[in-house]
Amino acid sequence: MNNFSHTFLRINNLKEFFFAILFFITFSQITNAQTNEAPVLTATGDQIYCPGENLNITTTFNITDTDDTATEAIYIQISSGYENGEDLLSLTGTHPNITSSWNVTTAKLSLTGTTGQDVSYTDLIAAIEDVVYTNSATNPTPGTRTFSITVGQANYLESTDHYYLYIAELGINWVAARDAAEATTYYGLQGYLATILSEDEALLIGEQALGTGWIGGSDSATEGVWQWVTGPEAGTTFWNGDVNGSTPNYAFWNTGEPNNLDNEDYAHITAPGVGVPGSWNDLSIAGGPNEYMPQGYIVEYGGMPGDPVLQLSATTTISILGITSTAANSECNSGSLTLLAGAGVNDVYWYTNATGGTPIHTGTSFNTPTITTTTTYYVSAYDETCTTAPRTPIVATIYPLPTVTAGTTPPTICGSGTSTLEATASNGVINWYDAPTGGTLIDTGNSITSPSISTTTTFYAEAVSSDNCISATRTAITITATPLPTITNFTTPPALCGSGTASLSAIPSGGTINWYDAPTDGTLIGTGTTITSPTVTTTTIFYAEVLNNDCLSENRTAVTVTVNPLPTITVATTEVSLCEEGITTLEAIPSDGVINWYDTDTGVTVLFSGNEFETPFLTENTTYYAEAVSTTNCISAERIAVTVIITSLPTVTTEVDITACFGSTVTLEATPSTGTINWYTDATGGTPIATGTALTTTTLTEDTVYYTEAEYNGCPSAERTAIHITVIPLPEAGDDETILFCENDTALLDAQIEGDVTYLWDSGETTPQITIDEAGIYTVTITNTSECIDTQTFTTDIILAPDIDVVQIRNTDEATIIMEDNTQDYEYSIDGINYQSSPIFRGLKDGIYAAYARSLNGCGLDIKTFRVLLVQKYFTPNNDGINDAFTIAGMATAYPQATVTVFDRYGKIITGLNRYNREWDGTYNGNKLPATDYWYIIQLNSTSPEIKGHVSLVR
């Protein structure tokens, strides 16, 4: 029993203190049970409970014990069927030595001594026989309550004949709980972590235990295969898979479990308030935080090999009866109805009242007498002696028969077709049939479309209520069918020419004829056997339709009014010109038929029939008329007038001799006496090159003749008039020239030619030559006595004088002359005597020089002085007196404004030299610098260019 000792070390609150006290009570029972003979409990009492009464749980009870006459406590538990909130156990009568305590959660009534000492069996037997069961519900939950009367704290379950004990130990892991459970016995029964095989066990352990804790399930051997690993069921699989798995027998996992979160392999009953009460959760071997912290474990006793046969508990039952099922019934109009009710294996008692009275029938099935109205009956699982028992109503419903109200009379059917049938049910829907009884169901609804019929037919409406009751009789509704009228004869009207009206005539089989302008729908144009059509301009079909007793003929009859179009006349022209006098041919073309020619617009005498009519010899204007007659003998709407006009020949007025400069164009002008002017290049024949009073010639290079002619109404002037153009030569100006002259000089522009000409420069001067001093483009216009001109253009530009920009000196003996303008050709010198084409001079010594540059175009000379400064290439600061420092000769005297800045290869300034600090010894801040190249910038004065280079420091 040493495995219980650690409970003392974990008492942290009142709840744990309670569980510790409970443990020691149990522990003492377990310990004593190992040396004490177990008592034997017997009880009788399998009773039926009448709601509202107090009923003793036993009819007899006894305790037999060979070595004891008292015990510390007796526990009575509703071990199965318990309804929390309804069921209650209480101790009645006077029992001065006993105190009772009811635990509503565990459904357990505890009977203990008032002074904490053992209670005699005699007092306990008397007290147990005064324990009563009460149900507080008006309509108690039916079922059997099993009462376990037990010596000791362990809960007894009759269905398993096992005992169950919750041991509180906060934070215990699963392995420790398993070992602790297996180290206990209860009256000789071996303990183990509980295994739960049924709903009864789950209910007793999970919902009625004092706390939650470890049970004997695990999938640590094979993930997802949950087995009972303790007690006699060790090795039994009760679940396969995860949360979506299944059980081969029984399992009671909480919602969403098992989920194997963080490798959870051990079963645990959930804490109160976590999901489904009494359900299971999978946890890791040590549990989890907060509500998943292990509170203890459940030990089960019984079923192990070698366990003694005990009778530590006695059981009784009280049954609460109840109606478990009912089935009402209904009937249409009236009848006897069969009603059903069930109460399990118990009898069912039938009553006519909710309370009182005696049963009218006993059994699960009851046939009512014939009833005509809805009637309520009542059933109970109790007879009339239990006046407080609830009764369940069962209704026998009588539904009234529906009736049919006919709708509007169906429209008459003309010929054959469908019509609308209408009727309304007082309740439910209308079914339509083709016979007063039986027959075929044709449709359902208050308004339907009938089948197609061609003779008068009766249909029948029957109402079916929402309760499936059918009207007593069917209501007849008749649809009348009338034959269609027809057109027996009609007359085709004669054809029309152009437009007009026609007489339309037809004879019906009966009724009235309506005339329309379309085969369907359209506009009604008249009524009667004969009518006059509207005016038509094209062939038109009209339609006759017969109306007889609201029935129309099946189709409209077409009557065609043919309209032949009037022929039309096409003439090339309505005026034909005849020059002076003569005979001409007139032409007209009909759209159909032939042309008749007349000399009046209304006369009847035909001069000629045919498309082409040759006139007699005419000397004055004359008009003829063309009329078309079609092949259908229709005449054109009007005669077309064609007039022959006698035209006089026109004349031309123009200048016939014209002069023009070579290479120019001339606009020739001519005026007709009437009509228009045509221009030609030939005296006769040919095609006009232009039309109009003016003609611009092509470019003229030689003498040319053009010819003009007037034309009116197709009549040309008697002859063409010749216009002679004489071409005058141009003065011959010289070719365009390009002239260059030196800067600050002038140039002479000479445009003089032979002949009697004048000059006009664009500068306004009028002499043959002009002198200029500015570059530009100059143009002179030369004009001869015939006002013919020619031009000459001079393009001039200035050659700039030499201008030396700079003489570039490097740290060498070399100088380069750089010119301001490099576009000219120069030659160079440094002594003013010897010139060369290259601007570069080498081999110079230190000193002052003069640079010369002169233009090869003879446009001047420029001179600029410069100085050659030779800078040493390297220095060796080794104190040998030779090149020990870097300096520039003459800084104190020749170049007093000179500055020298020395840099390393990274651009860092190393030192600066001037006339006060003229040498650098190769150090920086007193430290020797490494041997390498250093760069310098020399500025001799504020206006001289920078001299850049590098010097080598050699060590």
**Residue 258 preceded by cis peptide, ω within 30:** yes
Statement to judge: residues 510 and 523 lie in one domain = yes
The β-bridge partners of 319 are 48, 144
CB atoms within 10 A of CB 456: 12
Q: Pinpoint the alpha helices (H) of 544-638.
A: none
pLDDT, tens digit (0-9, with 9 covering 90-100), for 252-281: 999 999 998 888 999 999 988 888 888 999
Q: Residue 541's domain is classified under what CATH number?
A: 2.60.40
Domain enclosing residue 587, as ranges: 569-646
The β-bridge partners of 900 are 913, 938
Output the six-digit token pair for 277: 């009460």
Q: Say if residue 486 is exposed, middle or buried (CB neighbours under 10 Å; 0-12, 13-18, 19+).
A: middle
Q: Reading across the β-sheet that carries 313-320, which strands appear in turn? A: 46-49, 313-320, 143-151, 73-80, 108-113, 98-103
DSSP 3-state percent helix, strand, coil across the chain (nearest 5): 5, 45, 50
* Contacts (Cβ under 8 Å, ≥6 apart) of 332: 398, 399, 400, 401, 465, 467, 468, 469, 470
Residue 128 has phi, psi (to 5 degrees) of -65, -35
Q: Which residue has 């007025």 as its token pair?
A: 653
**Residue 567 preceded by cis peptide, ω within 30:** no
pLDDT at position 944 is 78
Statement to judge: residues 415 and 395 lie in one domain = no
pLDDT at position 207 is 64
Among candidate residues 338, 371, 399, the one where a domain is terminated: 399
Answer yes or no: is 9 within a domain: no
Rounded-to-integer distance, Cα 314 and Cα 40, Å: 9
Give, in order, the Cα–Cα distances in Å from 457 to each of 445, 524, 554: 19, 33, 21
Statement to judge: residues 447 and 378 lie in one domain = no
Q: Residue 609's domain is classified under what CATH number?
A: 2.60.40.10
Answer yes or no: is 45 within a domain: yes
Q: With H, G, I as helix, E, B as strand and everything else as coil, classify residue 853.
A: strand
Answer yes or no: is 11 within a domain: no
Helix (H) or strand (E) run with residue 22 in it? helix 14-33
The confidence band for 844, taking pLDDT boundaries of 50, 70 and 90, is confident
Statement to judge: residues 435 and 478 lie in one domain = yes
Output the six-digit token pair for 736: 């365009």
Answer yes or no: is 651 within a domain: no
Residue type, position 443, single letter: D
pLDDT at position 758 is 94
The confidence band for 585, taking pLDDT boundaries of 50, 70 and 90, is very high
Q: By percentage, how much of the chain surpasses pLDDT 70?
A: 95
pLDDT, tens digit (0-9, with 9 covering 90-100), for 682-739: 999 999 999 999 999 999 999 999 999 999 888 899 899 999 999 999 998 999 999 9
- Decide which of 523 and 881 is more confident: 523
Answer yes or no: is 8 within a domain: no
Residue 323 has phi, psi (to 5 degrees) of -80, 125
Statement to judge: residues 496 and 559 lie in one domain = yes
Q: Which residue has 């060979």 as its token pair?
A: 66
CB atoms within 10 A of CB 953: 21
Answer yes or no: is 594 within a domain: yes
pLDDT at position 21 is 37
Q: With H, G, I as helix, E, B as strand and everything else as coil, classify residue 780.
A: strand
Statement to judge: residues 176 and 298 lie in one domain = yes
Contact 345, 285 (CB under 8 A): no
Contact 277, 207 (CB under 8 A): yes
Rounded-to-integer distance, Cα 667 and Cα 693, Å: 10
- CA torsion through residues 450, 453, 456, 462, sign: negative
pLDDT, tens digit (0-9, with 9 covering 90-100), for 149-184: 998 888 888 889 999 999 999 999 999 999 999 999
> For the range 604-613, what are the long-range contacts, defined as Cβ-Cβ under 8 Å and sequence gap of 24 or more?
611/587, 612/585, 612/586, 612/587, 613/585, 613/586, 613/587, 613/588
Statement to judge: residues 361 and 422 lie in one domain = no
Statement to judge: residues 188 and 199 lie in one domain = yes
pLDDT, tens digit (0-9, with 9 covering 90-100), for 26-63: 444 444 444 568 899 999 999 999 999 999 999 999 99
Asked if pLDDT for residue 23 goes beyond 70, the answer is no
pLDDT at position 376 is 97
How many Å is the maximal CA-CA distance in the chain? 178
Q: Global pTM?
A: 0.45
pLDDT mean over 892-908: 90
Statement to judge: residues 46 and 148 lie in one domain = yes
Q: Which residue has 């008068």 as its token pair?
A: 456
Contact 622, 644 (CB under 8 A): yes
Contact 560, 596 (CB under 8 A): no
Rounded-to-integer distance, Cα 332 and Cα 551, Å: 46
Q: Which residue has 């478990």 as its token pair?
A: 324
- Ranges of beta strands (E only) in 241-305 are 266-269, 280-283, 296-301
Answer yes or no: is 341 within a domain: yes
pLDDT, tens digit (0-9, with 9 covering 90-100), for 436-461: 999 999 999 999 999 999 899 999 99
How is 44-78 classified by DSSP, letter by letter? E-EEEEPTT--EES-SEEEEE-SS-SEESEEEEEE
CB atoms within 10 A of CB 329: 17
Helix (H) or strand (E) run with residue 377 in it? strand 375-380
Contact 190, 198 (CB under 8 A): no
Statement to judge: residues 202 and 289 lie in one domain = yes
pLDDT at position 866 is 83
The confidence band for 210, taking pLDDT boundaries of 50, 70 and 90, is low
* Contacts (Cβ under 8 Å, ≥6 apart) of 247: 238, 239, 240
* Least confident interval from 388-392, 793-797, 840-844: 840-844
pLDDT at position 28 is 42
Statement to judge: residues 492 and 590 lie in one domain = no
Residue 525 has phi, psi (to 5 degrees) of -105, -10
pLDDT mean over 785-812: 88
Residue 421 has phi, psi (to 5 degrees) of -105, 130
Rounded-to-integer distance, Cα 633 and Cα 345, Å: 114
Among candidate residues 251, 270, 302, the one where a domain is terminated: 302
Output the six-digit token pair for 298: 């459940």
Rounded-to-integer distance, Cα 832 and Cα 267, Å: 119
> 368-378: buried (b, 16+ CB within 10 Å) or exposed (e) per residue?
beeeeeebebb
pLDDT, tens digit (0-9, with 9 covering 90-100), for 591-649: 999 999 999 999 889 999 999 999 999 989 999 999 999 999 999 999 999 999 988 88
- Decide which of 158 and 334 is more confident: 334
Statement to judge: residues 248 and 184 lie in one domain = yes
Q: What's the mean pLDDT when you consider all of the chain?
A: 90
Answer yes or no: is 723 within a domain: no
Among candidate residues 511, 546, 564, the one where a domain is terminated: 564
pLDDT at position 203 is 86
pLDDT, tens digit (0-9, with 9 covering 90-100), for 811-835: 668 889 999 888 888 999 999 999 9
pLDDT mean over 227-243: 96
Q: How many domains does the chain have?
A: 10
The confidence band for 209, taking pLDDT boundaries of 50, 70 and 90, is low
pLDDT, tens digit (0-9, with 9 covering 90-100), for 76-108: 999 899 999 999 999 999 999 999 999 998 899
